[in-house]
């Protein structure tokens, strides 16, 4: 049986969490079940009254070129060891896709334990996480952030910092930052405010019980250097017409408006499947479904997985060259999704 747990039932999945994620400390698990369970949705498969598979839909407000959408971050995807390879996770993912489409969610995202688990469901990498290092500066100093009253101002600063560099990111507010403080504390973490003499220039945090690591570093380019990147976040388009509203023509396009025809293959969300008329302007775009079926020779055909990498600016599929004025279709420039749970 696949269903969402009622709020008072959510504690029933803690046993499976402990089994599936033994690397998580007890303190972190307690933080998660105390804080994140307040507003998330837990989809489970049950057998004989026990939770045997689960996924958690953790809600975030995601900015997409200035428009904010509700998008869920999928975490705690797990199946009991004795119940693996029986199709439980497939059932959960397909039920989740259907529900998200009804909610008109543009996309969903996750940090995979293994990429291979999610490739068959058309998730693809869209974000490589940077590892920044703070550069030395003679006037550099740090102060631990303890004053909760500053949360609103710091959230406003983070949003401005993100908006200058990225087009897709999780919107911050005071509650976001205060919850992050609790997340850090669960792993003996600390957040520091960074100053250059008396100028506030950014924030950094580190955490870890047995081994310390940087949780984040938010500061300007002149104060940071890139020490490396790694693929971190996979995403899947859910409601295609909703997603493309933020995709536009570049200012360099010689036409103010174009309409192209493309085919889309989506095995799991038939609402996205078929031929689409895609009208684009320099302010955005809209898609109208011309047919549920794809006719040979009517236009280039994309899998939904190819579209997600193209439109997030991660990788351009070969058939994009076949789209009239395709070189002027402007994907998102700059993705920043560094959430853990």
Report the pLDDT averaged over residues 245-263. 98
Tell me: pLDDT of 297 over 80.
no
237-330 folds as Nonspecific Lipid-transfer Protein; Chain A (3.30.1050)
Calculate mean pLDDT across residues 233-256.
Answer: 98
- When pLDDT is averaged across residues 153-179 and rounded to a whole number, the result is 98
Angle (CA) 139-143-147 rounded to 5° is 145
- The mean pLDDT value for 66-75 works out to 98
Confidence of residue 266 (pLDDT cuts 50, 70, 90): very high
pLDDT band at 201; cut points 50, 70, 90: very high
Residue extent(s) of CATH 3.40.630.30 domains in the chain: 2-120, 129-233
Which pLDDT score, from 0 to 100, does residue 228 have? 97
**Edge-to-edge strand list for the sheet holding 213-219:** 140-144, 190-196, 199-207, 213-219
Average pLDDT over residues 29-42: 98
Angle between helices 151-165 and 174-186 (to 10 degrees): 100
**pLDDT tens for each residue of 112-142:** 999 999 999 999 999 999 999 999 989 999 9
The C-alpha angle 230, 232, 235, rounded to 5 degrees, equals 140
298 confidence band (pLDDT: 50, 70, 90): confident
Look at residue 296 and tell me whether its pLDDT is greater than 90. Answer: no
Its CATH class, for the domain covering 129-233, is: alpha beta
Q: Where residue 11 falls among pLDDT bands split at 50, 70, 90?
A: very high
Q: What is the CATH code of the structural domain delimited by 2-120? A: 3.40.630.30
Interatomic CA distance for residues 268 and 238, integer angstroms: 10
* The pLDDT of residue 124: 98
CA torsion sign for 39, 45, 48, 52 is negative
> Locate tokens 């749970």: which residue?
341
- pLDDT over threshold 90, residue 204: yes
Average pLDDT over residues 6-24: 97
Average pLDDT over residues 250-259: 98
Would you state the pLDDT for residue 295? 83
The mean pLDDT of the chain is 97
- pLDDT confidence band for 223 (50 / 70 / 90): very high
Cβ(137)–Cβ(196) under 8 Å?
yes
Stretch(es) of the chain classified as CATH 3.30.1050.10: 237-330
Mean pLDDT of 278-290: 98
């Amino acid at each position: 049986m696949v269903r969402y747990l009622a709020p008072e039932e959510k504690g029933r999945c803690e046993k499976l969490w402990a089994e599936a994620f033994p690397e998580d400390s007890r303190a972190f698990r307690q933080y998660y079940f105390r804080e994140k369970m307040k507003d998330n949705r837990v989809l489970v498969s049950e057998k004989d009254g026990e939770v045997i598979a689960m996924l958690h839909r953790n809600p975030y407000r995601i900015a997409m070129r200035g428009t904010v959408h509700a998008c869920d971050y999928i975490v705690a995807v797990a199946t009991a060891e004795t119940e693996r390879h029986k199709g439980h996770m497939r059932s959960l993912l397909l039920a989740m896709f259907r529900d998200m489409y009804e909610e008109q969610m543009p996309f969903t995202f996750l940090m995979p334990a293994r990429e291979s688990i999610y490739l068959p469901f058309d998730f693809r990498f869209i974000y490589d996480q940077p590892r920044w290092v703070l550069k030395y500066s003679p006037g550099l100093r740090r102060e631990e952030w303890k004053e909760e009253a500053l949360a609103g101002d710091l959230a406003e600063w983070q949003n401005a910092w993100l908006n200058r560099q990225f087009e897709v990111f999780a919107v911050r507010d005071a509650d976001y930052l205060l919850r992050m403080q609790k997340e850090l504390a669960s792993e003996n973490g600390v957040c520091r405010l960074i100053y250059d003499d008396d100028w506030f220039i950014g924030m950094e945090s580190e955490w870890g019980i047995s081994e310390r690591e940087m949780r984040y570093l938010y500061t300007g380019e002149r104060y940071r250097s890139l020490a490396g990147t790694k693929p971190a976040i996979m995403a899947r388009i859910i409601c295609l017409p909703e997603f493309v509203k933020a995709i536009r023509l570049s200012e360099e396009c010689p036409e103010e408006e174009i309409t192209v025809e493309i085919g889309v293959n989506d095995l799991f969300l038939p609402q996205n499947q078929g031929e689409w008329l895609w009208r684009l302007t320099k302010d955005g775009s809209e898609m109208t479904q011309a047919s549920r079926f794809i006719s040979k020779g009517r236009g280039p055909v994309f899998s939904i997985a190819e579209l997600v990498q193209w439109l997030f600016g991660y990788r351009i599929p070969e058939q994009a060259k076949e789209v009239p004025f395709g070189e002027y279709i402007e994907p998102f420039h700059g993705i920043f999704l560094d959430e853990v749970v």
